[in-house]
Structures are given as structure tokens and as C-alpha cells.
Amino acid sequence: LKLNNDPDQFQFAIVSDRTGGHRAKVFSRAVQQVNLLQPQFVMSVGDLIEGYTLKEDVIKEQWDEFDSYVKRFEMPFFYVPGNHDLTNKMMVAKWGERYGKRYYHFIYKNALFMCLNSESPPDGSNTIDPEQQAWIAKTLEANPDVRWTFVFLHQPVWLVKDQVKCGWEAVEKSLAGRKYTVFCGHVHRYVVYE
């Protein structure tokens, strides 16, 4: 009898964009279904609200609605910002007030989870800025012996023509030599990149 309860094994769920062709009640039903699966936690890949406004009351209303869904998860939910979530300086400030840092990491059962920010408002460029690149390198250097590294971000910045300018070249250089998987949103379809 081989039981599926290895102490090193765990499951997590990933939820994708809620924007671009919004359909009512899809996310709220997904919360119920994820709860049935009982993963240890839920990751996101950004675009959690419609955004794209300068009206603070609208942004508050959209985040309040989204957070009301997140509260129904029976496990932790990890936020990652997308272009709809951070489209201008006011929205960046509101993110900071509600959720704190726009990029962070944690370790679970010797796996490193890195949640990155691929948004640079107000110019709208898809970049991993130099400050974040340095943080990524430092975080990876501090965790050389994890069994796997998972990276979550919204934009597939590796598709930008200028890899140096967008910052992905530096990220890949920092990831070199380790086992890792990157998850992104934004493209609204399932695609595998290598």
C-alpha cells in the first residue's frame, strides 16, 4: 500500500486573471472548488481587479469585492500584482496600503516561492526593475539549497525584445543552475514556454 501522504509532498493551487472578458461568478465558484481540493495555499498571477481608473472609491470597491472572495478560501492566498492592479501611482499606493510589498518570497517544505512585480506604472512598461533584480539575486543567494524554486509574476516579460531593459535577463542569470518553474498570467490562454 503506497499512501499519498509523504511529509515532503504538498499541493498548491494557482488562480489566473479575473480581467479581460470578465464573466460573473466564475471566481466565486472557483473559490468553492479550490476549497474542495484543500491545497495548502493558493497562488495568484495578477489582474485581480478591473482597475484602470484614477477614482479611489472605485478601486476601494473593486478590492473590497475581491477580498470578500479571498476571505472565503480555507487556506492562505498570495497576491501578485498585474497591469490591471497597478496602472497608475494612486493604484500603487493603494496596493501598498492594503497588501504591503509588491514582491516578496516565502519557503514552504524546502521550496522557495518568489512573487514578483512585472508592472512599472505610470509608463506601463513590463519590467523587473533594478531594485527588484538585486532583491531576487540576494534572495536566491540566501537560499541555495532549496529543492525547487517557483516564480510567480503577471507579465511574460521574457517575450519583450530587449531582455536587458525589461530585466528578465538578470532574473534568468540569477536562477541559473537551480531547478525552477515560472508561472505567469496576462496571455489568457494556456501556453508553455521554455
DSSP string for 61-97: HHHHHHHHHHTT-SS-EE----TTT-SSHHHHHHHHH
**pLDDT for 188:** 87
pTM as predicted: 0.95
Q: How many CA atoms lie within 13 A of 165 on its CB side?
A: 6
Give the Cα separation of 114 and 16 in Å (integer): 16
Backbone angles phi, psi at 178, to 5 degrees: -125, 160
pLDDT given at position 146: 98
Provide the β-strand partners of residue 105: 114
Structure confidence at residue 25 (pLDDT): 84
CA pair distance 83, 140, nearest whole angstrom: 25
Q: What is the pLDDT of residue 3?
A: 81
The pLDDT, as a whole number, for residue 189 is 87
What residue ranges of the chain have pLDDT lower than 70?
Answer: 21, 122-124
State residue 124's pLDDT score.
65
